[in-house]
Structure 1
Amino acid sequence: MFSFTKKQKGNRLTALAQSPAGTVCATIVKTGTDKPRLELCGFYPANPGQSATGHLQQLARQLKLSGNSVTTLLPIGNYQLMMVEAPEVPPAELKAAVRWRIRDLIDFHIDDAVLDVFDAPPSGARGVQESLYVVVSRTSTVKSLIEPFEAAGIELGIIDIPELAMRNIAARLEADKDGIALIFFGADHALVTLTRNSTLYLARSMDFGYRQLQESPELVDRLALELQRSMDYYDRHFQQAPISTVALCPLPVELSDLASRLGEQTGLPVQTIDIADIVEIGGDVETDQLGECVLAIGAALRTEATQL
């Protein structure tokens, strides 16, 4: 998404996703085979009172990140993802035209916005490219994300979004060829993506996560309803065959009946994906932390090499 370098350096990409509690890190190495290797994965808590910059400096030394290509993720809630009609302008004028088009669709002044675009899949039977996805955030939000990395001497190549990190994971699953609904749970939010052939068709976020599901298991009914609405829209708007595969990203906590209850509500088989199906797990990776690292792994699986 928001790009700062022309291309990824080398065959190694590290994703660092920060939170007030610490940083999730994942490093993917392209091996020349069908499966890239997950070389590093873990959550690294910040020391009490430690600044974001100080924590990143410590990680850069500890994990020997010097020379790595590095990406990070905008947290959900810090940006908007919207689909707009594609302007009929030359490529060099595209972002300016989109900026004009979305000025009344955001709740802050367009001069304070930073945005990027990527293709939305064609809708209807004609298969004509009519729309674009637009990611837009406040300039101050993006700047505050970048500043600790710069101060720590870590060169960011890309700032990505969770929806595309999930797209990267789904793209490595066999079911993505025919369409797959993938569900990710953070502590206090959930994200559903519908993808097919490595293309993001639809994404929906919800204001509850695995903590709320632990306390109120009946929230699975809301999840099932939102999932069904998303799949119905996918069928109608994009005129695709119905999605028949629903998958859950690994969780850092045990929710043993989530898949079965969601399957009962939707009438579809639901299973949790195994990260080992999409990447080779390096010998130094602590597998019990994979649930914490899902989005970072997805971000590090990024394959786009050039700016939009």
Structure 2
Amino acid sequence: MIQKFAFKFRSSAGRPRQATQIAAIYLQAEQLKLVLVRSIDQVVLKTETVRLVDSQQRVSACSQLARELPKNTALCLVLSADSYQLVQLDKPPLAEAEMRHALPWQIRDLVSIPTDDLIVDYCDVAEPASQQQAKIQVVASSRSLLAPLCKVLQQSPAQLMNIQPDEWLARNLLPVQPQAVLLLSHQPGQELSIQIVRNGTLYVSRKLRGFNRIDQMSYSDLSLGLLDNLLLEVQRSLDFFEGQMRQAPVKEILFLLPSPELPAILQYFVQNGFTQVRALDVSAYMPGSSLAEQADYWLPLAGALELLLSAETSIETTH
């Protein structure tokens, strides 16, 4: 379950819903981003970015950001894609305690992190009805990376409650509703993500290679085949969700894409038969902010909102 996924550095102090303020620190290779949110109305109170000269500065910068937070702020540490690896495999017939000891050895040939440095957690995956074998999604990261960070965060005024991979968080910006939506989201320099969410549950999550510069490309360049490829990948995801997973059709397609060409991209989808298409607006969380600021901070915002989830949620499949 995503709500319980937190590696094993989580603080035991307090419940997230008791905090009047929540926060997230987004750990990236070249920078750290902080978002502080008021719990009662989910309005962002503060954003900050710290550029890193090198990886040795990461721990001190993380400590600096956390020390600026109000006392007892519930904190989520969000890992960027270069800080973790996801592996899906058949669920071993083991008890919970045995599972955690066995997983590093079971995935050691599937990840690039040395076995003696692995720290892992997992969540159950509900596969399509046609597949009976239970599966799990394993999240692997480096103990030598996380341990120093968690140590300084647990010594700060904030309460480190959770550690999350960034891939699972965009769903927190969507309303919990029975109608499924497909979300295309993008972070600068990273691959484009396609996700299908229904009732707050992530059913499909895919990374699309070849789209890492989509936010920097002109519409004329995008029209040279890239948009056609994107249409194809969207349709593949819809077919998988509605066909193999036997789910009701997706209601609409949302874009979280910091590109000046987004209006033209939306129109291109409309012209190709996708009528329920729109940009995802996060301005209600960040009143008065520019589109550039929203693009910079939507992902750590989604990490902070993870702390407000009261119901357990799960991944249905990673396709």
Could you tell me the TM-score, scaled by structure 1's length? Answer: 0.78
Q: Which moved more, 1:249-258 or 1:140-149?
A: 140-149
**Does the aligned pair in 2 maintain the 1:117–1:132 contact within 8 Å?**
yes
Which residue of the other structure, out of 90, 94, 100, is the alignment partner of 2:99? 94
Contact 1:14 1:70 (C-alpha < 8 Å) held by counterparts: yes
Partner of 2:317: none
Mapped pair 1:220 → 2:222 = no
| Residues 41 and 286 in structure 1, CA contact (< 8 A), matched pair in contact too | no
SS at match of 2:238: helix
Q: Show the counterpart of 1:187.
A: 188
Which of 5, 28, 46 matches 2:11?
5
User: What is the root-mean-square deviation of aligned Cα atoms in Å?
Assistant: 3.6
**Contact 1:181/1:193, CA 8 A, preserved across alignment:** yes
- The alignment partner of 1:123 has SS state of coil
User: Unaligned stretches of 5+ in structure 1?
Assistant: none
For residues 31-42 of structure 1, the aligned pairs below 5 Å read 31=40, 36-42=41-47
Cα distance in 1 for partners of 2:53, 2:88 equals 41
Report the CA distance shift for 1:275/1:129 in structure 2 as closer, same or farther (over 3 A).
Answer: farther
Aligned CA distance change for structure 1 residues 60 and 235 (closer, same or farther; 3 Å): same
- Which residue number corresponds to residue 89 of structure 2? 84
Is the CA contact 2:124–2:137 (under 8 Å) kept in the aligned structure 1?
A: yes
User: In the TM superposition, what are the counterparts of 1:47-196 in structure 2 within 5 Å?
Assistant: 51-60=57-66, 63-124=68-129, 130-143=134-147, 146=150, 149=153, 156-170=160-174, 172=175, 174=177, 177-189=178-190, 190-196=192-198
Distance in 1 of aligned mates of 2:283 and 2:269 = 23
Q: Does structure 2 conserve the Cα–Cα contact (< 8 Å) formed by 1:180 and 1:196?
A: yes
| Within-5 A mapping of 1:11-26 | 11=19, 12-19=21-28, 22-26=31-35
Q: Which moved more, 1:192-201 or 1:147-156?
A: 147-156
- What residue in structure 1 maps to residue 303 of structure 2? 299
1:275 to 265, 282, 286: 282
Do the aligned partners of residues 217 and 103 (structure 1) sit closer, same or farther apart at CA in structure 2, a change above 3 Å counting? same
Confirm whether residue 29 of structure 1 aligns to residue 33 of structure 2.
Answer: no
Letter in 2 for 1:249: L
CA pair 79-20 structure 1, distance change in 2 beyond 3 A: closer
1: CA distance between counterparts of 2:250 and 2:30?
37
Shift of 1:214: 3.9
Residue 149 of structure 1 deviates from its aligned partner by 4.5
* CA positional deviation for 1:297: 1.2
What letter matches 1:223 in structure 2? L
Give the TM-score normalised by the residue count of structure 2: 0.76
Contact 1:13 1:69 in 2 (8 A): yes
Identity of paired residues, percent?
A: 21
Query: Displacement, 1:107?
Result: 3.7
